[in-house]
Amino acid sequence: MGKIIFYEERNFQGRSYECMTDCPDISSYMSRCNSCRVESGCFMVYERNNFMGQQFFLRRGEYPDMQRMMSMGMMFDNIRSCRMIPQHRGSFRMRIYERENFGGQMMELMDDCESIMDRYRMSDCQSCHVLDGHWLMYEQPHYRGRMMYMRPGEYRNFREMSTGLGLGGMRFMSMRRISDMCN
């Protein structure tokens, strides 16, 4: 089970809100989040309510200055919702497809992939089916750029999905399993 504590001020000061599950609206508990501490587990934090907008992965640790951290790569100015990532101990399996609706070339992954272009000669990935495990998908090779959390299920059209989440038409070029990162 995971546990994250959000604080209104930097360096874990001011009002706090403790969360051990998904929270679609942190702003109903506090006006802003300037620091947080992940005591156990892993979480995705989102720039907007209801798990919308850009997202960022947080593992166990202390984050004393969220504004500074955000300016170095998170690209948003406040955390409005969070999702706990359940621990997964089994195998990992995901099928990625070149085109939307599971069309075009298909590749099956069971481990991390730094670059679909280098590894599979795929120039684009427009849909996927997560069969086992929880994954982070990245916009650029080598686990860089904006990211998106994928849990088991079918994802038929990344462009539509990311636009619906307020992210514009994202495409994914690398993917990483969420496994040992959450211990």
Secondary structure, 3-state, 42-75: EEEEEEEHHHEEEEEEECCEEECCHHHHHHHHHC
Predicted local distance difference test score (pLDDT) of residue 124: 85
- Its domain, for residue 130, covers 93-182
3-class SS of residue 130: strand
Predicted local distance difference test score (pLDDT) of residue 183: 58
Domain boundary among 85, 102, 117: 85
Q: How far apart are CA 166 and CA 38, in angstroms?
A: 26
Q: Between these two residues, 69 and 153, which has the higher pLDDT value?
A: 153
Predicted local distance difference test score (pLDDT) of residue 76: 61
Domain boundary among 85, 118, 133: 85
**Residue-wise pLDDT tens digits, 149-178:** 999 999 999 888 887 777 777 789 999 999
Q: Indicate whether 111 and 164 sit together in one domain.
A: yes
Predicted local distance difference test score (pLDDT) of residue 108: 97
Q: Indicate whether 80 and 132 sit together in one domain.
A: no
Q: How far apart are CA 37 and CA 74, in angstroms?
A: 17
**Residue-wise pLDDT tens digits, 117-147:** 999 999 889 999 999 999 999 999 999 988 9
Q: Indicate whether 81 and 97 sit together in one domain.
A: no
pTM: 0.88
Q: Which of 135, 68, 56, 123 has its CA nearest to residue 95?
A: 135
Q: Indicate whether 100 and 174 sit together in one domain.
A: yes
Mean pLDDT of 7-15: 94
Inform me whether the pLDDT recorded for 77 exceeds 70. Answer: no
3-class SS of residue 134: coil
